Structure formats: C-alpha cells, structure tokens
Amino acid sequence: MSTSTDTIEQLATQEYKYGFVTDVESEIVPRGLSEATVRAISQKKNEPEWLLEWRLRAFRAWLEMAEPAWHNVHYPAIDYQDIIYYSAPKPKKQLASMDEVDPEIRATFKKLGIPLDEQMRLSGIAVDAVFDSVSVATTFKDKLKDLGIIFCSFSEAVLEHPDLVRQYLGTVVPHTDNFFAALNSAVFSDGSFCYVPKGVRCPMELSTYFRINAKDTGQFERTLLVADEGAFVSYLEGCTAPIRDENQLHAAVVELVALDGATIKYSTVQNWYPGNKDGVGGIYNFVTKRGKAMANAKITWTQVETGSAITWKYPSCILQGDNAVGEFYSVAVTNNMQQADTGTKMVHLGKNTRSTIVSKGISAGKGQNTYRGLVKINKGAAGSRNYSQCDSLLIGDRCGAHTFPYIEVKNPSSTVEHEASTSKIGEDQIFYLRQRGLSTEDAVNMIVNGFCKEVFRELPMEFAVEAQKLLGISLEGSVG
C-alpha cells in the first residue's frame, strides 16, 4: 500500500491527466457521472489508490446494471447525469437568526421540543464553537479513545485507519450488490465509521449528533460499523427534525460487522422531507443496509421511517455464525403521496440461528406502504428459527397496505412462523378517546402509538419519545 503522501501526489497528477476542472473554493464536482467524476471525488478526499480502484470497479459494475423495477414504488425516471455527485460542504445559506427560518419548520421544532441550540444547528444557522454539543462531542471522543473505540467520519477513517477500512469495506454489501449500492460505492462522499475493539462495551449511545463533522455528509453516505469479538455497541442514526431539501436521490449504504459474540443495535429515525401533500418534492431514499453476524453475535435493526417521498430499504442480517441472532423492528409511515417499500432479509446460514421480524406499516392519505421480507434458511442452518409479524394499519380509505413475505426453507429441522394483520383505525376508537376529552389528533396519535408499541420499546429511551412525537406530526391532518 502506498503512503498517503504518495497517493495524494498520484491523485494530483491524475487530476491534470483527466483535465478535470476543480474549483477548490466551491468544492463542487460538475454535474453528471463518469469515471472522471469518481476520480475527482476520490482525489478531493485524498483517498489511497486501493479505494479509488474499488470505487472504479463499482462504477464499472454500475454501468452494466439496470435500475431495479421489482419494487412497489413509482416515480419518474431518475436522470443520473443530472445529479451533482459531490458538493460538500453543501452550499447552504447561512441564516442569521431563527427569525429567518420557515415558520412551519419552527412550529415543528416546537412540537418536537428540540432545544434552541439544536434548532439553530439544524436550520443551518452558524453557531460554531459556542454550540455546547461541540465540546460535549470532544469530551465523548476522548472517553471513547481511552477505550480504543474509533468513531469518526468515513473520510477520516480512510486516512487514519486505512487497514481497518480496507479489511471490512464491502465485505457485507459488496460493490456489485445492487444498482443503488454500486452507485453509492462509486460516488459516496462521506459517512461514519466505527470500530469497537474486542470485549469492549461502548458506554454510550453513539450517534451522528455527537460526531463533530457530521454536518452535510451528502446524499451518498456510507457507514461501516465493526464490533470486534464480544464487543457491544448501540448506534443511533438519523435526523429527527425535518431538514427540508429539494427532491433528490439519497442512496446510502450501511454495513455492520458483528464478530463472534458481539452485539450491534442500530436504531434509525428517518424523517427526510416527504414532499408536499400533492407529492411535489421529497427525498427518494434508496438505502442498502446489511449486517453480518458471526457465531453467537447479535444484530438488531430498529427503524422508524416517517419521512421521504419514497423509502426503499431492507435492513438485513446474514446470520453466518452458529447461534447468531438477527432482529428487525420497523415502523413505516406513509401519509399523503408517500410510498414505502421496506422490510428485511434474514439469511440463516449458521446452526441454531434465530431471527425476529416485527413490522408495523401505517398508511394514511394516499400513502402506499409495502412490507417486503425474505426469510431464507439454508441447508446447513439446522435448528434455526424465525418469527415474523407484519401488521398494517390503514387511516382513511384512499391509502394502501401491501405485504410480500418470501420464505425459503431448505432445512427440515427449522421453524418459521409468520403472522400478519391488516386493520383500519376505527371511528369507534377515535370517538371513544374523544369522549374522554382527547382531541382527534391526540386520539389518532395514541392509537397509532399503541399499534407501534412493540417497535418503540426497542428504541433507546430518548429516541422513543422523539419517535412518538414525530409519528404524531407525520400523521397530522390525516383524519377529519
């Protein structure tokens, strides 16, 4: 492997070689996607040669791939040449005070009970060093460092811990995995990296909130989490406030590696801009998330998906080692014109592997909600078990819920259970709660939260509270 200085030099030459125009001030790579784009991104990030090669392999694979069409979401064709693939830091207007922020957003912040500092940060107001969480983050970082835990941006990891990144990158989601994952592998701009050493229990929830350079990681994030043997880590991902963005593609990849006896809890609250009531704008969220669990390891995915115009994600577990455990708890909400096609894959390879799937889909307005799941038990996975439960809740009569469970069992000693239900939120239930003094909104909120209880209790405390509030906001105006 070349040293980083060498690599920088190489890349600098390459830049000239391809005659690529780079305006360092604005940090924007011209619109469109080609090998030159991939090289430019890699060069901007001072990446080593091997990573550039990896990106290029992904790009070439992507060129040969077709955008998937099996999903139950519909959207106008995406022009991949009309996207700016690298624009970090995002040229967001810095606002001088909260007064300049959209009143609607301010109202939402208020409902969410987000502290003012946080509101300012989320709105893109310059708060810089005075912002408390910066120093908080630094304190945490020192504490983590003492335990040997690495938690930093992906770019930083590539430069500071290249061996670890190289060892695990693409081992769970290969660069050829699927159309969107290949695209991400070619052009990912940044993301998070975490490594928890052998036997270490990470003493706090890790979240992007506590990461100093979490700002504006862009639309193609890549997260890699490695829990070494016997380690434990709980990771929170997401934005619990509505960051308004233009209609754009968001194609992230998350890879989790849980080595023997390790535990990873990965919780997401996704609230990207869903578009307006008529379906204008909103994020197209095409995300590939997968974890590999070795012997006696455990991976738990918990997700609350309330945002995005389109959600396409299937956080999955490859239960490779014996006795590995995979769990998936999901709440997906589609209101107005939102569409979600989400679920999980549980692939049982090791003996006595166990998986649990609890999926709660809520459709309101004209929202379309699809659960798609695969439970695959391979020949060698003797004594494996799966339990799946998929419940759908409909609010109103213009929305839809769809369930596509796939089950492949190649081992006679395994057990697979599947339960599914679809219910409509009852006028009777709403009236009952209103008769006790609750407003219609609070009533719906309460019923929906009850419906999601099994998932919310898997979330870390503060996250669960936010998720509940968020759910209420997402469903606002869906009844009455």
> Interface with another protein by CB under 8 A: which residues?
426-429, 431-440, 442, 446-447, 449-454
Q: CA 39 to CA 22: how far, in whole Å?
A: 12
Closest CB to another protein among 27 and 441? 441
Joined together, the tokens standing for residue 16 give 């000239």
Closest CB to another protein among 237 and 458? 458
Q: SS3 of 370, please?
A: strand
Maximal CA-CA distance, the chain = 74
Closest CB to another protein among 285 and 302? 302
Look at residues 376, 227, 243 and name the one whose alpha carbon lies nearest to residue 296. 227
Q: Is 389 left (phi over 0), alpha (psi -120 to 50) or beta?
A: beta
CB of 459 to another protein, least distance (A): 15
CA distances from 67 to 77, 395, 400, 403 (A): 10, 32, 24, 22
Q: CA 334 to CA 72: how far, in whole Å?
A: 13
Joined together, the tokens standing for residue 362 give 């809520």
CB of 444 to another protein, least distance (A): 11
> What is the identity of the amino acid at 258?
A
CB of 438 to another protein, least distance (A): 6
CB of 479 to another protein, least distance (A): 12
Closest CB to another protein among 394 and 452? 452
CB of 393 to another protein, least distance (A): 10
Cβ(314)–Cβ(258) under 8 Å?
A: no
CB of 236 to another protein, least distance (A): 23
Strand partners, 239: 270
CB of 310 to another protein, least distance (A): 28
Burial 27-55 (b: 16+ CB within 10 A, else e): ebbeeebeebbbbbbbbbbebbebbbebb
DSSP of 11-36: HHHHHHHTT---BTTTTBPPSS-SHH
Residue with token string 């100093």? 212
Q: CA 41 to CA 37: how far, in whole Å?
A: 6
CB of 450 to another protein, least distance (A): 3
Closest CB to another protein among 120 and 452? 452
Closest CB to another protein among 360 and 376? 360
Closest CB to another protein among 8 and 465? 465
Strand partners, 411: none
Closest CB to another protein among 91 and 426? 426
The H-assigned helical ranges of 312-426 are none
CB of 398 to another protein, least distance (A): 19
Closest CB to another protein among 78 and 438? 438
Burial of 145 per CB tally in 10 Å (0-12, 13-18, 19+): exposed
CB of 340 to another protein, least distance (A): 21
Q: SS3 of 280, please?
A: coil
Q: CA 373 to CA 375: how far, in whole Å?
A: 7
Closest CB to another protein among 115 and 450? 450
